[in-house]
Structure 1
């Protein structure tokens, strides 16, 4: 499960395009953050997954679509807020985003983020087609995680849209110290609940769950441990979208030397042919994810 064997860009042109995608996301992030206070209200529509959209969801999607779509090397753009991918050019790479992960957290003023993945294939693509992925976390400090070319790096993004590399080649801490499990407890499967109770009994680990996946994932990347949005009795495929959340987060964690799983295999090996398909998500230190898979057998 743990691996540094990840996809890399296949040409100088692709490398340049990835650089440009990362730059667009970084330089757009301060504008998105500044615009959130006036867009904390629900929009009239639902997204393709049937969730109520916030005004901020739609606005962030439109901003990023316009700017990423203008890049010469990008051929397709897709997001959680759109029913289908759209052709934006003739470039070989595709970009898929969750423009504002955790937007329901805007009302209580909790953590939100932007998740992105660059695929060397048409959409919907496969996890093994990713050549770069990452996220922006709109926390007390605005940071961006980028996984590419076998390395995970962290940048601080400043209000003037400049950004600075602050950590290179991040690896998960060997002894994970936090955990977070999503979904309603009465809706957990018996097997997952038994695993969760075992994790809770370890005094060396602390519960960290904020209801914004990207904030919870960043806790795992920082401290090590395990995060799960599991298969539920009412939703065997879980809640999170493969293309926009499962693949990119799996790519980040595996590039950092951790593991990802849908309960039986790496998230990067999940095979779904619908743009908005869902998957259970389990990510963290390799030993904990292996125990999780054994518990679910």
Structure 2
């Protein structure tokens, strides 16, 4: 049984001039995840579920656990000293850590609690994180450009899923590895090494309630998924939880595609490029899959703002390429 800490140290040789800072940073994320997991498991027993009545910068009502998770992850990251600033879905602007060491070289972008509205009904939720090296000089305050980096510049990314078991899944560019928490000890053990997504799948994940608002290419793809064709294992199975981490995790293990396209009411899409799409794109590519906005590779998109939204197509490579072909075919007529 290999623990998360042991595994990270064992793989440190993969990084040129490794100094252990990234190891400490991932350790801070592990600690915060355990604290948040403890509170999630008490939902319904203590006053920590429900809305706060306050909206975040995206106009979404914040849940009590959104704010709790945000504060715990910020505190854990600041305490270690390897991080000079964070950007969060729950913060209007990025946060600079004045207490960071002068040589702190990393910034973290995060969705501290993805799918938090599902906690009230005991559905799996998660935390998504993305790590970059700053581009501004060490010893100076972080600047916006430190956070507005394309996804291919990520040093590491991952997520924690709080479900029937709690798992931390991460990549540093050398495969995707999953660790399951032993609740009796509070220790994450290696349970899924070198996770790979099948090239094809039989699951599609999308909120079909918005069908009438979808682009024509997405509508055509959904009809394709529902057609009877034994040679390609169609019709596919529709599975949509409404928590990105949960839907992504299932498709990663079993093969499938997750789609959150643009709609008539959200022409730029809904998911955040920096907090959700880039880290998931890094993970899926490292697992052998593909992530796209319907036309372009997610990790090649140059961010222009902290809370930028984009359409998101992510999963098994052949499935993503099929929907991309349909998007290109029908976009010219829209």
TM-score in terms of structure 1 length: 0.92
- Match of 2:289? 258
- Match of 2:179? 155
Cα deviation digits, residues 75-96 of structure 1 (max 9, x gap):
1112111011111224111111
Question: Greater CA radius of gyration, 1 or 2?
Answer: 2
Question: Residue 31 in 1 paired to residue 35 in 2?
Answer: no
Shift of 1:25: 4.0
- Number of aligned pairs? 290
Cα deviation digits, residues 122-173 of structure 1 (max 9, x gap):
1133212211111111111111111123210111113342111111111112
Q: Per the alignment, do residues 173 and 118 of structure 1 end up closer, same or farther by CA in structure 2, a change over 3 Å counting?
A: same
Give the 5 Å matches for 1:191-230.
191-201=217-227, 203=234, 205-230=236-261
- Match of 2:142? none
Contact 2:114/2:127, CA 8 A, preserved across alignment:
yes
- Match of 2:276? 245
Contact 1:79/1:99, CA 8 A, preserved across alignment:
yes
Give the 5 Å matches for 1:37-56.
37=44, 38-56=47-65
Equivalent of 1:143, from 167, 173, 176? 167
Cα deviation digits, residues 164-215 of structure 1 (max 9, x gap):
1111111112331211113611211122111111022253631110111111
SS of residue in 2 equivalent to 1:70: helix
Shift of 1:24: 2.8
Distance in 1, matches of 2:105 and 2:65, equals: 29
Structure 1 stretches of 5 or more lacking a match?
A: 1-7
Higher relative contact order (CA 8 A, sep 6+): 1
Shift of 1:35: 4.7
SS of residue in 2 equivalent to 1:199: helix
- Match of 2:191? 166
SS of residue in 1 equivalent to 2:303: coil
Shift of 1:16: 2.7
- Match of 2:332? none
Distance in 2, matches of 1:139 and 1:30, equals: 9
Once superposed, which parts of structure 1, at least 4 consecutive aligned residues long, lie more than 6 Å away? Answer: none
Cα deviation digits, residues 70-128 of structure 1 (max 9, x gap):
12211111211101111122411111111110011123222211111111231133212
Give the 5 Å matches for 1:16-165.
16-37=23-44, 38-88=47-97, 89=100, 90=102, 91-121=104-134, 122-159=146-183, 160-165=185-190
Contact 1:225/1:285, CA 8 A, preserved across alignment:
yes
Task: Give me the CA root mean square deviation.
Answer: 1.8
Structure 2 stretches of 5 or more lacking a match?
A: 1-13, 135-145, 228-232, 329-334
TM-score in terms of structure 2 length: 0.82
Question: Residue 281 in 1 paired to residue 312 in 2?
Answer: yes
Question: Residue 188 in 1 paired to residue 214 in 2?
Answer: yes
Distance in 1, matches of 2:167 and 2:237, equals: 23
Shift of 1:28: 3.0
Judge which range, 81-90 or 14-23, deviates more: 14-23
Shift of 1:287: 1.2
Distance in 1, matches of 2:285 and 2:320, equals: 12
Contact 1:57/1:99, CA 8 A, preserved across alignment:
yes
